[in-house]
Amino acid sequence: MDIAKASIRTPVNTWLLVVICLIGGLLGLADIGRLEDPSFTIKQAMVVTAYPGASAEQVEQEVTEPLETAIQQMSQIDKVRSVSKPGVSEITVEMKPTFDGNELPQIWDELRKRMRDAQNALPTGVQSIRVADDFGDVYGLYYALTAPDFTPYQLREFSRVIRRDLLTVPNVTKVSVEGVLKQQITIHIDTSQLANLGISLPDVKSALAFSLRPYSSGRLHIDGQRIRIPVGGVESHVDAIESITLGLPGSTSQIRIKDIAEVTFDVVDIPDVLISHNGQSAITLAVAANIEANVVDVGIAVRERMDQILADLPAGIILQPIYDQAQVVDEAVGGFITNLILSVAVVIATLCIFMGWRAGIVVGSVLLLTVLGTILVMWLYGLNLQRISLGALVIAMGMLVDNAIVVAEGMMLRMQKGYNALDASSYVVKQTQWPLLGATAIGIAAFSGVGLSSDATGEFLFSLFAVILISLFLSWVLAITVAPLFGSYFFKVGKKGNDESFNSSLHNLYKRFLLTALRNRGKTVFILVAVTVVSYMSFGLVKQGFFPASNTPIYYVNYWGPQSRDIRETAEYMKKAEAFAQSYEEVEAVTTFVGKGATRYTLTYSPEQSNESYGVMIIRTKERDQIPELIDKLTLQLQENDPDARIYNTRVIFGPGVGAKLEARFIGPDQTVLRKLAEEAEALFEQDGQVKDIRHNWRQKELILVPQYDEYAAGVAGVTRADFSDAVQFSSNGLKLGKLRDGDYSYDIIAKAKTPHETAEETDELKQLQDALVWSQYQRSYVPVRQISPKMQIESEGALIYRRDRIRTISVYAEPGNNDTAGSALSRLRPQIEAIELPDGYRIEWGGEFESAAKAQKALGGGLPLGFLVMILITIFLFGTVREPLIIWLIVPMAVCGVVAGLLIADLPFGFMSLLGFLSLFGMLIKNAIVLLEEIDIQIETGMDKFEAIVEASLSRLRPVSLAAITTILGMAPLLTDAFFADMAVTIMGGLTFATVLTMIAVPVLFSLFYKIEPKA
């Protein structure tokens, strides 16, 4: 079928295709989903099990170990990581990357089933196992609620109202509230009165449980109707508890609780988390949108609903965004679309300058239709507009333009010789359609490693492969259909017999270089090989990276006090830290979290789990470039304020998070040995002088007060360990007697000892514990704690025990300096760390950016062999020989020359996006080489002298190859200011510059060598 003639003879069909791409693309652009970055599934769940009273080592041996054993029996498991803390086991379960998001719910159900089965084998006292499979949920709309003129209790009610109403907004799936100050009912009991009256704590507990049990309603049957009799609740919980009566042992007398205790309604002593925003106590509201919804539309709807809610609430309530993904997405996608439009405009302008306005309009129209058609297909297949998918269009720009340039220029030159549009287009399309299709398929196959990659990075970048696949194939279709039709409208027919002339200064200059290279083929090949070898040797000078820091002007200050520090003390230090941060002019907002990290508001943020000594500040600056200097100034100030703290900073990054960029893991059985190895590694990191934020994850040991429990004395007194434990809690942080439910909230009922010497001043808690009384169930009387525990001893214990795949593992972390990269830091430190002498049974492995990059490249490499096989087979099928494909594949490795030079000049690292840019170079280079070799073969088939055929074919391909390179290079220019695409843009720009030389010099020289064509004098 003659596609070009059919396109011109039946223009209705071609115009239908144009209208579909144009109108459909505009409609798709208006309605397509928008995200800042592509979504990827966090294939993790957390298994949390409380074991009150147990030490970290007990938790590890009695809870973590059996649960990990049960978990590892699942065939879907990739990794199991755990941390055992005093009283709690936290196991992070990660599934193999081959499972997609649709399969995870069934896997989590299997995990829950296994945990239910394992629960029966756990020790007495272990609480129910909780499997949190929403660990990876992202709440992209993140707000801080402050109300300086209101009490914390009123703030809690405001947050409840706002959450309830936000859940009614379409496409809002979840609203998470954090920072609500929990309350408790505290019963301060006079221990001397308890002892005198002979009332035990179990008696008080039983009375509370009986009196506060749920009320049941009655029912009457009157005149055929049912009448419900509700028993109303009390208005005051404090009054209800104070009025509970207790029977006095040995008599019929009764006493009320308020006669022996003071009942108060307080904020909990030890909160789970404390949050402040710009110095004001705050509650955070995190809103999650439906993943299939347009987050920009959801954000607008949420903001409108918030305005309505706040209008109905008292004045003085402030709701400020910590992170508004909708606004970020709108700005990011809008800015990127502007860059894309600018790139297309630059390409069209360049074409008009070098090819004339007629050819510029034809090629530019095809390019515009290709972009809009691609957006239409993306919309239909549910692909969102985000950084990666839009960037893919720019990456493919050179190949998109090249198809149309080849057809349009060939048709234009043919018509200048006097051929009509039908014959000219038919000849050119028949001649080039299959080579262009093959070259297009090769360009697509170059990115197959991304499409077939099975890890999180591959999932993150899948849209890049999908968009390149759609856009390149569509560009080929439009080049052989729309370009001929538009060419028939714009191109003029010249006089018959006009020969193609290559008399421009560019052609003459190129011809001189080409003839020189052909006459000195040995020297030319030697120079090319030498430059390539030098480039590969120089590649070691290029900085190595993974994903760069994000454009978002946000960074995190992670604050770790001594491990034994109380959360209230940590909060005091964080309050000062927040004031320091706010004193800098470049800081716009500071949100502080004490006790644990923030809610996961972006995919790349991994929140820290609960730890009283931990705090984090989310600092937003006015400009992204202000962050490095601010980090240096603020860190120094914070460290001076609290020398005992470990303070390190992390940037928001593009792509999947990697945690610390440098991580050395020591793996082995003994805690003491592991800590010693970690200390040696930390010392080596410190000696380097260039890396910073050095720490390890096991942290310091905690001080503990160990009562010496006398089994004999306890037996004589009739005191059990449970009685002793209750007495210790009652005399220290309080003994939980029950729980009171009221509407949406529940309140713990805590009993605390009120000793005779207690005053308004701070109580001596240690003396209070030593003077405590313990109830003897058998003697029905109180016994002094000193009688059961004559001594109390101060000891230290490890509070955190980390394991990876059931083996104890301690990780030493560090971050590269401001002018350093993780790759160069690792190359310096790795030999020193690996020189540490390891005892038998211990080993070291590397994590951080090194591990993440290796995994991503391994996953990418897993799909590359198939892609390269396809590329090689296509080149062989196109030519039906071995020599032409061999020429093509000999010049491909030489593309590294321009890449190395470009990155060194720009002082940018070779990261994951650079690798993708390098792959796109393959497609462009091979495509140009295919069309040039095909042109040489065509010229030879016409009977032209072989040497002249090489020269004439090269001259005929000079303009389209140069134009494709120039348009691609200029089209990449807007991306140089984008942190995510800068290294990739430099890779393509530098590599394509040299690749153009390779195509136009190396291909003719190698062709003449392989076919033994001697140059003419």
pLDDT of residue 559: 93
In angstroms, rounded to a whole number, what is the distance separating the alpha carbons of residues 459 and 443? 20
Q: Is residue 824 located within the same domain as residue 949?
A: no
Whether 305 contacts 169, CB under 8 Å: yes
At 220 the three-state DSSP class reads strand
**Residue reference for tokens 């032209």:** 944
- What are the beta bridge partners of residue 219? 228
Residue where one domain finishes, among candidates 78, 109, 136: 136
294-333 per-position pLDDT tens digit:
888 899 999 999 999 999 988 889 999 999 988 888 877 7
Residue where one domain finishes, among candidates 94, 118, 136: 136
Instruction: Please return the burial class of 364, using the count of CB atoms within 10 Å of its CB with bins 0-12, 13-18 and 19+.
Output: buried
The answer to whether residue 347 sits within a structural domain is no
pLDDT of residue 781: 85
**What pTM was computed for the model?**
0.81
- We report the CATH number of the domain holding residue 573 as 3.30.70.1430
At 406 the three-state DSSP class reads helix
User: Which tokens hold the place of 919?
Assistant: 């792959």
Q: Is residue 907 located within the same domain as residue 808?
A: no
In angstroms, rounded to a whole number, what is the distance separating the alpha carbons of residues 295 and 305? 15
The answer to whether residue 516 sits within a structural domain is yes
Residue of 779, 720, 781 whose CA lies nearest to 199: 781
Q: Is residue 675 located within the same domain as residue 616?
A: no
The answer to whether residue 333 sits within a structural domain is no
Whether 447 contacts 464, CB under 8 Å: yes
The answer to whether residue 196 sits within a structural domain is no
Task: Provide the 8-state DSSP code for 1001.
Answer: I
Whether 140 contacts 290, CB under 8 Å: no
Q: Is residue 453 located within the same domain as residue 538?
A: no
pLDDT of residue 214: 67
Q: CA dihedral in degrees (190, 191, 193, 198; nearest 10)?
A: 140
At 287 the three-state DSSP class reads strand
- Is the alpha carbon torsion for 272, 277, 278, 279 positive or negative? negative
- Is the alpha carbon torsion for 968, 971, 973, 978 positive or negative? negative
φ/ψ region of 484 (left if φ > 0, alpha if ψ in -120 to 50, else beta) reads alpha
Query: Into how many domains does the chain fold?
Result: 5
pLDDT of residue 32: 85
Q: Is residue 15 located within the same domain as residue 118?
A: no
pLDDT of residue 972: 79
pLDDT of residue 264: 87
The answer to whether residue 524 sits within a structural domain is yes
pLDDT of residue 657: 61
**Three-state secondary structure of 465-519:** HHHHHHHHHHHHHHHHHHHHHHHHHHCCCCCCCCCCCCCCHHHHHHHHHHHHHHH
The answer to whether residue 928 sits within a structural domain is yes
pLDDT of residue 398: 65
Q: What are phi and psi of 37, to 5 degrees?
A: -130, 155
Q: Is residue 572 located within the same domain as residue 606?
A: yes
Q: In terms of DSSP H, where are the helices of 121-218?
A: 152-166, 191-197, 201-211
324-376 per-position pLDDT tens digit:
988 888 877 777 677 777 777 877 888 788 778 888 889 889 988 999 999 99
The answer to whether residue 69 sits within a structural domain is yes
The answer to whether residue 240 sits within a structural domain is no
Taking 70 as the pLDDT cut, the residues of the chain under it are 214-215, 232-237, 336, 398, 451-457, 496-502, 546, 655-658, 755-764, 859-863, 1017
Whether 367 contacts 361, CB under 8 Å: no
**Residue reference for tokens 């033994």:** 1012
- We report the CATH number of the domain holding residue 824 as 3.30.70.1440
Q: Is residue 485 located within the same domain as residue 597?
A: no
Q: What DSSP line would sit under 312-357, residue for residue?
A: HSPTT-EEEEEEEHHHHHHHHHHHHHHHHHHHHHHHHHHHHHHH-H
User: Which tokens hold the place of 397?
Assistant: 């720009």
> How many CB atoms are located within 10 Å of the residue 142 CB?
23
Q: Is residue 426 located within the same domain as residue 479?
A: yes
Residue 565 is part of which domain span?
550-652
Residue where one domain finishes, among candidates 110, 136, 162: 136
- CA–CA–CA angle 533, 511, 883 (5° rounding): 55
Q: Is residue 863 located within the same domain as residue 840?
A: no
Radius of gyration of the chain, Cα coordinates, nearest whole angstrom: 36
Q: Is residue 965 located within the same domain as residue 864?
A: yes
Task: Provide the CB-side half-sphere exposure for 662 (13 A, CA).
Answer: 29
Q: Is residue 459 located within the same domain as residue 577?
A: no
- We report the CATH number of the domain holding residue 476 as 1.20.1640.10
pLDDT of residue 759: 46
Q: Is residue 867 located within the same domain as residue 949?
A: yes
